[in-house]
Amino acid sequence: MEDYAERIVGRAIDLGCQDAVADVSVNRSYQIRFAQNQIVISNRWRETTASAFLVYKKRVVASDIKDFTRLDAQVDNLVKIAKASQENPDYGGIAKGPFKYDRLSVDKKIVDLSDGYDHVDAAVNGALEEGAKECAGSFWKYDEEHYLRTSNGVNAYDHRANLYLSIRALVSLESSGHGVACATKLSQFDPEKAGHKAGKIAALAKSPKSGEAGKFDIIFDPLIFGSLIDQVGGHAGAWTVMAGLSPFAKKVGKRIASEAVTLIDDGSADSIGRKRFDAEGVPTKRNVVVQKGILKTYLHNTSTAKKFKAKTTGNAGLVSPDTHAMVCKPGDWTRDEIFEECKDGLWLTNTWYTRYQSYVTGDFSTIPRDGIFRIKKGEVVGTWKDIRLTDNLINVWKSVEGLSKNVDQVQWWGEVYVPTFAPYALARKIGITRSAE
Amino acid sequence: MADLDLVDFAVDYAREKGASYAEARYEHQIEEQFILKNSVLDALYHGEDSGIGVRVLAKGGLGFAATNAMTRTDVKALVEDAVKIAKAAHRKDPISFAPEEPVVTNWSVPQRKKLSDVPVEDKIEEILHVDREVMALKFKLVARYFQQANKQIDKYFVNSEGSKIRSFSPRVRMFYFLTLQHNGSAEQTSQNYGWSGGWEAMDELRMRERVIEEAKSMQNSLEHGKKSPEGKMDLVAGPQVTGIASHESCGHPTEADRVLGREASQAGKSFITPASVGQRVGSPVVNVCDDPTMEHGIAYYAYDDEGVKARRRYLYKEGIINEFLQNRETAAILGTRSNGAARATTYNVEAIVRMANTFVEPKDWGVDEMVEGVKFGVYMKSFMEWNIDDKRYNGKYVGREAYLIENGKVTTPVRKTVIELTTPTFWGAVDAVGKDLEIFHAGFCGKSDPGQALDAALGGPTMRLRNVYLR
């Protein structure tokens, strides 16, 4: 595979390109989807993809190549396209290698895992034991190798393998809960716990009544808090800021969250998002994005860093910077203390469909799903349904008062795009709306 | 193109290995994207995605495997994977497919101007031109993002029942995102248009005029916009609002796989159950259709990715829940036939139940007539923020371009009008449906795991809703 990467870079340079990057990835992932407590389909992939990034006189072309029998012809075509394209004056080059990388290894037991049926059974049985009637979800074994070459001296290899399971448990259509399990080591993978969590929430959420609009203190479960963390990470990308798609423009050095909040993007830490390098080959590292509520940096590749007179943060994607894995620094509250401090509010366990009216102001709404619980004096006193969190992203973050000591690694379809370490959180006076009568 | 005999071979070999049913889908997709950010061509993407996906039924289980290595050895290994994982499912209720007749055909979407004949320079110039014209308005457009995207999709589908279908589907998209400031306040818009066909899309979609009109309406809204009134009033909803409501609160809840719980963990379930067919969810003037055969709709197709002939589906008919979107798997469970709704984004994912071009069927009202009949209300032409719960019952659409209606006349712009209503309340309030059908608002519909963001058209005519709560 390194030969393919070498060939793409070499040929592009021979044809006149100044910069070239090729990341050849070999995907051997496997998935089991289940619904109604049974397996509905199993999927297996055997794919090799070369992601290429070529620059001719600041004319940038990106591509994914799948047909390796026509590799040279496709590179020739990409260079031809680059030559016909327009100059990007904002283009600032790619990082200068070579770099030293941490020695990372994958758990061979995960690589050798040939199926995941026992893990699915463990999750489903865990939920059923709690009283769930119906379970659906996915088990994933991710197994990907990356061979990266750049025209600036990078020659790197990474093997990424991990396990993931997502389970939604339902007692009825409106009584449901969600749990996830993430692990980079087979011995740490606990789908049963995810099943129990989903089942427990579903059982507790029985007979919900329509919720009310107003301002409420909110206890965020790690899954929904992970979604809010994901929103910060996604909007901290420098490219996103430049495109008008972020509320964080001109806010570096300013408060965007309460003092309780420190958020870090860290592709180098042990998580299912761990990777040795970004798309330019820059070693991933710990980047403090928000420190005690103050926005410290945007996430950069080499080009955006030059534009903002900063240094690359090692977050290059093929074209624009990406987050790798977000970490919320734990607080000093126990989970029980967070609940005790909520005298009159709600406990939200999951959400989806987060959308913005204005990205520059951060006005948004998101729809809690799965268990929504009315909390009084720290105790669950009822179950709600049919509400919407309608507020402003920065306001929500400024309203965070306390975080739990323990964090869970979460990732979820559609809402928590990158792996995120999230605690329980308590936020004050958050806007809730509902459908009109 | 790869050796297509391998596609036939994959199906034959799967049967030999014990599959009771097998299908193979080879796809070759050429995709271009031109990304213009703040007048700078940030990047140009040109990719060729190609490979084969094999889906089999064996011992009542379903297995799918995909590769881009188109050799006999690789395809054999792929088929063996698919059969093995299908057999390992050990289901209590075996999966089966509703019957279909085999089909042998070719279909393609005509292009008046072939995408492959249009030079890269011309495609870039098109978005640069739009950007120059909108900047010439001299508004304070502080951020501009345009994305012009083209796809050329070749497919070859074969199944073990004798179907062999080749197809070619070219698609054109134009997406733009604008941020306009005035006196310290900002307005943003996000618009996405799509077309099945060739480069003639640029003329047909009138992108230049649309972007100019949009920027002017944003400036007008910032200069003259008032706070939207709160309370019960009439609403005139433009085609874009009608389209999103059709997609979110009609198309999605009538997807049979969602109704049956197959998507429960991801895109969710539905307030509709199999027993809901025949129940009222809207007023008698409401017909919501999903029709893959709408000419030039971005989601046009003649046969779906299970080889079933496409047809118009009346999801809500005269306000009654009428029909679900079905593939062969859901149809078998519900004792009916597929209506051709199985689609996949690429070769490497299974085909599942999807919407295509979803819209409210037009009637005979003019927009002016609808407005004339409103004493006090809001005319919402477009939206920005929107979402809906995972059972598709509580929808929200927040106005981008909206105006007050006073005594039958459209008057001043109003900002951020909020429609937050249940699905039956929304559709039950419709008393008039216009004749101004638009089908070129395009979305990426998200569903499944791994996620499949699929081309979908969201359209409709203008509609009038009586006495709904707005804020």
Cβ contact, residue pair B388, A353, below 8 Å? yes
- The torsion angle over the Cα atoms of residues A188, A191, A192 and A196, rounded to 10 degrees, is 120
Separation CA A105–CA B7 (nearest Å): 38
Put simply, the answer to whether B262 touches A174 (Cβ < 8 Å) is no
The fourth-level CATH superfamily of domain A2-204 is PmbA/TldD superfamily (3.30.2290.10)
> Considering CB atoms only, which of A136, A242, A361 is closest to B38?
A242
**B378 contacts B404 by C-beta, under 8 angstroms:** yes
DSSP B281: -
pLDDT at B449: 96
Using 50, 70 and 90 to split pLDDT, how confident is the model at A190? Answer: very high
CA distance A63 to A55: 12
Q: Do A434 and B420 touch (CB under 8 A)?
A: yes
CB-nearest partner of A360 from B92, B188, B390: B188
Give dist(CA B425, CA A435) in Å, integer.
Answer: 9
Bridge partner residues of B151 (DSSP): B31, B171
C-alpha distance from A144 to closest chain B C-alpha (Å): 14
Phi-psi bin for A421: left (phi > 0), alpha (psi -120 to 50), beta? beta
Contact B81 A46 (CB under 8 A): yes
The size of chain B, in residues, is: 471
CA-nearest of A349, A335, A338, A314 to A406 is: A335
Instruction: Indicate yes or no: pTM above 0.90.
Output: yes
Chain B residues touching residue A363 (CB < 8 angstroms): 385
Contact B267 A414 (CB under 8 A): yes
Cross-chain CB nearest to B51 (options A47, A413, A436): A47
* Closest Cβ opposite residue B49 in set A64, A134, A243: A64
- Option in B264, B421, B451 nearest A436 (CB): B421
How far apart (Å, rounded) are the C-alpha atoms in residues B103 and B338?
A: 14
Is the Cβ pair A357, B416 closer than 8 Å? yes
- State whether B65 and A244 contact (CB < 8 Å): no
Q: Which residues on A lie below 8 Å from B77 (Cβ)?
A: 46
A319 pLDDT tier (thresholds 50, 70, 90): confident
Q: Tell me the chain A residues in contact with residue B50 when contact means C-beta distances shorter than 8 Å.
A: 66-67
- B-chain residues near A46 (CB < 8 A): 65-67, 69, 74, 77-78, 81
3-state secondary structure A51-104: EEEEEECCEEEEEEECCHHHHHHHHHHHHHHHHHCCCCCCCCCCCCCCCCCCCC
* Sole residue written with tokens 């990007």: A88
Torsions phi, psi of A165, nearest 5?
-140, 135
Instruction: Give one word for A226, left, alpha or beta, with left for phi > 0 and alpha for psi -120 to 50.
Output: alpha
Q: Do residues B413 and B444 lie in contact, with contact meaning Cβ atoms separated by under 8 Å?
A: no
Q: Which of A286, A149, A283, A302 is nearest to A238 (CA)?
A: A302
Domain spans of chain A, in order of start: 2-204, 209-434
Q: Write out chain B residues lying below 8 Å of A137, CB-based.
A: 265
Q: How far apart are CA B448 and CA A395, in angstroms?
A: 33
Token pair of B213, please? 């009109």
Residue A110, sorted as left (phi over 0), alpha (psi -120 to 50) or beta, turns out to be alpha
Comparing CA positions, the residue from B220, B177, B242, B189 lying closest to residue B403 is B220
Considering only CB atoms, B67 lies closest to which of A46, A90, A174, namely A46
The superfamily in CATH containing domain B5-224 is PmbA/TldD superfamily (3.30.2290.10)
Asked if B389 and A117 come within 8 Å (Cβ–Cβ), the reply is no
Nearest to A369 among B90, B120, B390 (CB): B390
Using the beta-carbon criterion (under 8 Å), do B393 and A386 form an inter-chain contact? yes
Q: What is the pLDDT of residue A229?
A: 98
Q: Residue A162: its pLDDT value, please?
A: 98
Classify burial at B5, counting beta carbons within 10 Å of its beta carbon; exposed 0-12, middle 13-18, buried 19 or more: exposed
CA of B333 vs chain A CAs: smallest distance (Å): 13
* Per-residue pLDDT tens digits for A131-187: 999 999 999 999 999 999 999 999 999 999 999 999 999 999 999 999 999 999 999
Helix or strand or coil: residue B470?
strand
What are the distances in angstroms from CA B136 to CA B141, B203, B309, B420? 10, 21, 48, 37
- Between CA B67 and CA B53 the distance in angstroms is 7
Burial class (CB in 10 A: 0-12, 13-18, 19+), A296: middle
> Mind listing the pLDDT tens digit for each residue in A246-295?
999 999 999 999 999 999 999 999 999 999 999 999 999 999 999 999 99
* CB spacing of A39 vs B61 below 8 angstroms: yes
Compute the nearest-CA separation of A16 from chain B (Å).
17
Average pLDDT over residues A390-415: 97
d(CA A202, CA A206): 7
> Which amino acid is residue A371, in one-letter code?
G
**Helix B207-224 vs helix B120-135: angle between axes, to the nearest 10 degrees?**
20
Structure tokens that stand for B303 in this block = 């046969």
Domain boundaries, given as residue ranges, for chain B: 5-224, 227-470
pLDDT at A437 over 90: no
**Cα distance from A418 to chain B (closest Cα, Å)?**
14
**A63–B421: do the CB atoms touch at under 8 Å?**
no
> How far is the C-alpha of A212 from the C-alpha of A214, rounded, in Å?
7
φ, ψ for residue A335 (rounded to 5)?
-60, -40
- Token pair in block for residue B170: 């070219």
Interchain CB distance below 8 Å, B389 and A369: yes
* Inter-chain residue contact B88 with A366, CB threshold 8 Å: no
What is the predicted pLDDT for the residue at B354? Answer: 98
Q: Report the distance separating Cα A39 and Cα A120, nearest Å.
A: 9
Nearest-CA distance B29 → chain A (Å): 10
Q: What's the token pair of residue B376?
A: 């006090």
Measure the CA–CA gap between B434 and A295, rounded to whole angstroms.
Answer: 49
Contact between chains at B389 and A367 (C-beta distance less than 8 A)? yes
Tell me the shortest Cα–Cα distance from A249 to chain B, in angstroms.
11
| Chain segment A39-52, per-residue pLDDT in tens | 999 999 999 999 99
Q: For residue A137, give the chain B residue with the closest CA.
A: B265
Mean pLDDT of chain A: 97
Please name the residue of chain B whose CA is at the shortest distance from the CA of residue A39: B89
- Is residue A103 scored above 90 in pLDDT? no
Q: Mark yes or no for CB contact A388/B396 under 8 Å.
A: yes
Percent of chain A with pLDDT over 70: 100
Residues of A in contact with B141 (CB under 8 A): none
Contacts of A369 in chain B (CB under 8 A): 268, 389-390
**Angle at Cα B7 formed by Cα A76 and Cα B345, nearest 5°?**
65
Tokens of A274: 């761990």
Q: Which residue(s) pair with A45 in the sheet?
A: B66
Check whether A411 has a pLDDT greater than 90: yes
Query: How would you class B220 by CB atoms within 10 Å of its CB: exposed for 0-12, middle for 13-18, buried for 19 or more?
Result: middle
SS3 content of chain B, % helix, strand, coil (to 5): 25, 40, 35
DSSP B432: E
C-alpha dihedral sign at A348, A352, A356, A361: positive
Name the residue in chain B with its Cα closest to that of A117.
B89
Are residues B396 and A81, on separate chains, in Cβ contact within 8 Å? no
Nearest-10 Cα torsion for A166, A171, A175, A179 = -20
Q: Return the residue in A27, A30, A36, A44 with the most chain B beta carbons within 10 A, the one to mutate for interface testing.
A: A44
- What would the 3-class secondary structure string for chain A be? CHHHHHHHHHHHHHCCCCEEEEEEEEECCEEEEEECCEEEEEEEEEEEEEEEEEEECCEEEEEEECCHHHHHHHHHHHHHHHHHCCCCCCCCCCCCCCCCCCCCCCCHHHHCCCCCHHHHHHHHHHHHHCCCCEEEEEEEEEEEEEEEEECCCCEEEEEEEEEEEEEEEEEECCEEEEEEEEECCHHHCCHHHHHHHHHHHHHHCCCCEECCCEEEEEEECHHHHHHHHHHHHHHCEHHHHHCCCCCCCCCCCCECCCCCCCEEEECCCCCCCCCCECCCCCECCEEEEEECCEECCCECCHHHHHHCCCCCCCCECCCCECCCCEEECCCCECHHHHHHHCCEEEEECCEEEEEEEECCCCEEEEEECCCEEEEECCEEEEEEECEEEEEEHHHHHHCEEEEEEEEEEEEECCCEEEEEEEEEEEEEEEEEEECCC
Nearest of B172, B221, B143 to residue B379 by alpha carbon: B221
The length of chain A is 437
pLDDT of residue A102: 87
**Looking at beta carbons, which residues of chain B come within 8 Å of A365?**
385, 387, 396
Q: What is the pLDDT of residue A196?
A: 98
Nearest CA in chain B to A64: B47
Cα distances from A420 to residues A17, A326, B280, B330, in angstroms, run 38, 5, 43, 35
Per-position b or e across B395-407, b if 16+ CB within 10 A of its CB: bbbbbbbbbbbee
Chain A, nearest residue to B144 by Cα: A243
- A356 to chain B, minimum CA–CA distance in Å? 5
Nearest to B449 among A138, A243, A352 (CB): A138
Please state, in angstroms and rounded to a whole number, the distance separating the CA atoms of residues B418 and A436. Answer: 11
SS3 call for B84:
helix
Quote the pLDDT of residue A243. 92
Among B402, B431, B434, B446, residue whose Cα is nearest residue B248: B446
pLDDT by 10-residue block (mean), chain B, 471 residues: 92 98 98 95 94 98 98 97 96 96 98 97 96 97 96 98 98 97 96 97 94 98 98 98 98 98 97 98 98 97 98 98 98 98 98 98 98 98 97 98 98 98 98 97 95 95 98 97
